[in-house]
Amino acid sequence: MNLHEFQAKEILGRRGVPVPEGQVAWTPDEAARVAREIRAPRFAVKAQILAGGRGEAGGIHFGATAESVGKLAGSLIGRTLVTSQTGAEGRTVRRVYVEAAVAAAREVYLAILVDRAKGGVALVGTEAGGGDVEARIRADPGLLATLPLEGLRRPDDAALRGFAGRIGLGGAVEAKATALMKALVVTLLELDATLIEINPLVVTEADDLVAVDVKMVLDDNALYRHPDLRALKDDDEADPVELEAQRHDINFVRMDGDIGVVTNGAGLGLATHDMLSDAGGRPANFMDIRTTATSLQIAKGIGLLLSNPKVAVILVNVHGGGMTRCDTIVEALGIAVRRSGRSVPVVFRVAGQNAGQARTMMVDRRIRHERVDGMADAAKRAVALAKGGRG
């Protein structure tokens, strides 16, 4: 679960990490009022969306007066922001964060994260922080200094001081830096975060540290331990169709093509997409039916495809196994087709557990379909039908 900048800053601020004074505003008037309350020489007005790359995309502006802050907020709120991380459809800005702007002497990148390759937690950082740091790290991973934790044990002061020195936080700011890092470690461990990233961490002329932008990601699988954090979940930006599918034990990603795809398992789903795309087709979705999903839940997932007018054909590619048997999929398909009343051609390809029974059921229940027994042939047939429908 991604947190908004303002949520992450509130959490870190309460835990002793210095953050600029600021507040959320939903309207231009509110933004101007926040600016008057804060009384800084200069203000930052920042679009609050759950995606990075806002600076380059024009989502962050600066103003010196409450009036200009109000105007800037007005130009951002309601606007669709397309950043390097949002995809082409972008995200609608519903609110802005107004905070005191901070004059930087230097900008450092500091993060704590779960390092999947090492199977552990690590502090990572580089003294050259700022907007393009991700691209620079991607090009040269050696730029990052790391301090791995021993299991979930907190690093000792000597290790933190050594690490601070390696990322340009030694000398006059060393004590402040180690205190800040301790707060990051404790926050990650206590909240089950998988990433807390401060970029930039500003060092001021007066040798103060200020976390000017913060990104925080929480572990969805651990939210059951944190009912209070669950309340921070902002579904405004989530796709309503995807949310609906999730509620029914189906991982669903909406895409903009015309082939509705019904698959079980992430790997089979990805492989089906590759085949469709290679054959010139355009999937309308990615679907991964979890093994625990019931036929009613799967019917909901298929219903989401049938209610999408762009979907010209449905490809069922299911390999039955475990608790997801092929006949369960037919039950679901029957329910969904009856409910929708829409007649969309179905290319039906099943294998594995109860595949034979499922094929018989499709005929017995008079669900209109074309049976194809090979995965590649099924994908090609779905593409041909979709193209025919378009022409």
Partner 1 sequence: MAILVSKDTRLVVQGMTGRAGTFYTDQIIDYGTTVVGGVRPGRGGTRHLMLPVFDTVPKAVAETDANASLVFVPAPNAADAMIEAIEAGIGLVVCVTERVPILDMVRVRHALNGSSTRLVGPNSQGLLAPGLAKLGVMSVDDATPGPVGIVSRSASLTSEIVAQATAAGLGQSTTVGIGGDPIHGVGFVDCLRLFMDDPETGAVVLIGEIGGREEEAAAAYLAEAKPEKPVVALVAGRHAPPERRMGHAGALELFGEGGARAKGEALRAAGAHVAPDAAGIVPLLQGALKGRA
Number of residues that bind partner 1 (CB under 8 A): 58
By CB under 8 A, the residues from 304 to 363 that bind partner 1 are 319-323, 351-353
In the complex, minimum distance from the CB of residue 252 to partner 1, in angstroms, rounded to a whole number = 9
In the list 104, 179, 253, 384, the residue contacting partner 1 (rule: CB under 8 A) is: 253
Q: Does 221 bind partner 1 (CB under 8 A)?
A: yes
In the complex, minimum distance from the CB of residue 85 to partner 1, in angstroms, rounded to a whole number = 6
* Torsion, CA 316, CA 321, CA 324, CA 329, rounded to 10: 30
Q: Mark the segment that binds partner 1 (CB under 8 A) among 66-74, 186-194, 205-213, 306-314.
A: 186-194
Q: Does 243 bind partner 1 (CB under 8 A)?
A: no
Catalytic entry in 5, 99, 107, 109: 109
Q: Mark the segment that binds partner 1 (CB under 8 A) among 66-74, 173-181, 247-255, 297-305.
A: 247-255
Q: Does 85 bind partner 1 (CB under 8 A)?
A: yes
Query: Which residue, 256, 219, 224, is CA-closest to 241?
Result: 256
In the list 48, 187, 264, 328, the residue contacting partner 1 (rule: CB under 8 A) is: 264
What is the distance between the alpha carbons of residues 244 and 241, in angstroms, rounded to a whole number? 5
Enumerate the active-site residues.
109, 197
List interacting residues with partner 1 (CB under 8 A): 85, 87, 114, 116-117, 119-121, 134, 137-138, 141, 150-152, 189, 192, 194, 219-222, 224-225, 251, 253, 255, 263-278, 286, 288, 290-291, 319-323, 351-353, 374-376
